[in-house]
Structure formats: structure tokens, C-alpha cells
Amino acid sequence: MPNTRQHPRLIAFEGIDGSGKTTQARLLKQRLGDVAVLLSEPTSESPAGKRLREEVFRDRAACPPREELALFIEDRRWNVTHRVRPALLEGKTVIVDRYYFSTVAYQAQRGFAPLDLLTLNTQQFPPPDAVVFLDVAPELAVARIRERKGQTPNDFEVQEHLARVRQVYLWVRDHRFITINGAKPAPTQAAEIWRALFGESGIRAF
């Protein structure tokens, strides 16, 4: 019988800001070592990614929704062409800290229909084999962001925004999603993620 239970090769980490996905993506990369590459979106390499990080993120409301969406898509196209596909072709496991479900969850807050955003992405980008979704209550996420960046005057607004983003993630979840309780200690989460992705046999199967 053919082995239909292949290990995931393209793994996306998703979650609201402050969910701890970056920490978990890094821990997974550490544990996998050289068989894996860790990438993130938006990138800080492509012209679109640089514009997002250097200009748009300074005042997000000032950027028209269409322009913002186009920049995320353009940056993703660059990442897929120059980083994701070449690594997959080399036989690497690719971990991406945010991928197209971020566009669905976040750009839905700027007036686009989630389903349209999903279609726009699935039509042109390779689908992830697994999506690790770090799920936390928006209150906890805001408390973590505050710890990291210092108190902001609009905590409540941020919390409401993240609650709406989380709702879209919950709506778009499919069988590839591994939902992890992001309130648990980081090592516990890491162990759960490992087990869900690679089972008990773990790295030996590579």
C-alpha cells in the first residue's frame, strides 16, 4: 500500500499578533535543524515587503485597502518564487511565519470578503500542508504586546480588532489546521505541535 501519510513539507504558522507564533516557529526550526528553513511574511527582502515594513506599518489606516492588499500579495509572490519553491525543490521542509491565511484574516478587516481573499491566494500560491494556528484570547494577546512594546493608548481598539481577526481565522480553519492553545507554557505548545506534525516517530521518519 502506498504511504499516503507523508510528513508536511510546507508548514504555516498563523495567529493574531501576540499569539506566540514566532516563538513556536523558531522552536520548530531549531528542532528540525538543517532539513528546514524558516521564512516569514511580510518579508523584509522584497520591494513590497520593505514598503510594508518601512512605510505602511507606520500608519496603516493611511494606506488604501487595495494598495495594502496588493503589497501583501506582491510580497508573497516574491517569497514563493525566490524562497519557498526553491527550498521545497531542494527537499527542505519550509516553515513560514504567516502565510496566506493572514491575508484572509487581516485584510478582511479592511473591507474585503474573506472568501474572495482566500480564492485570490489559493489560485496562485502553493497550499500549505499544515497550518499551526496559535489560538489565544485577544485580552492575553494585548497584554503580551503591551509587555513587548509598552503601553499604548488604544489597547481596547487593538483588542477589538484582534478579536475580529481571530473570528476569521476560526471561520477559515479546515482539516489542515492544528489548533494550539497559545496560553499554555511554550515548551508544552512546542511538544504538542511536534506530535501533531510528526507523530511519535518524529524526525527519524525524515
Residue nearest ligand TYD, CB atom distance: 106
- 9-28 residues in contact with ligand TYD (CB under 6 A) are 17, 22
- 125 forms part of the interface with ligand TYD (CB under 6 A): no
How does DSSP assign 70-104, residue by residue?
Answer: HHHHHHHHHHIIIIIHHHHHTT-EEEEES-HHHHH
Q: Which residues of 116-139 are buried (b: 16+ CB within 10 A; e: fewer)?
A: ebbebbeeebeebbbbbbbbbbbe
Stretch binding ligand TYD (CB under 6 A), from 34-42, 135-143, 155-163, 183-191: 34-42
Task: Please give the grid coordinates belonging to residue 57.
Answer: 506599518
Work out the end-to-end distance of the chain between its first and last CA atoms, rounded to an integer number of angstroms. Answer: 19
Minimum distance from CB of 97 to ligand TYD (Å)? 6
Residue selected from 8, 24, 36, 42 as contacting ligand TYD according to rule CB under 6 A: 42
- 53-92 residues in contact with ligand TYD (CB under 6 A) are 72
What are φ and ψ of residue 42, in 5° steps?
-65, 150
Minimum distance from CB of 3 to ligand TYD (Å)? 33
Stretch binding ligand TYD (CB under 6 A), from 83-91, 94-102, 123-131, 172-180: 94-102
- Report d(CA 171, CA 166) in Å as an integer: 9
- Report d(CA 37, CA 48) in Å as an integer: 21
Nearer to ligand TYD, 1 or 62 (CB): 62
Which residues are at the interface with ligand TYD (CB under 6 A)? 17, 22, 40-42, 72, 97-98, 102-103, 106-107
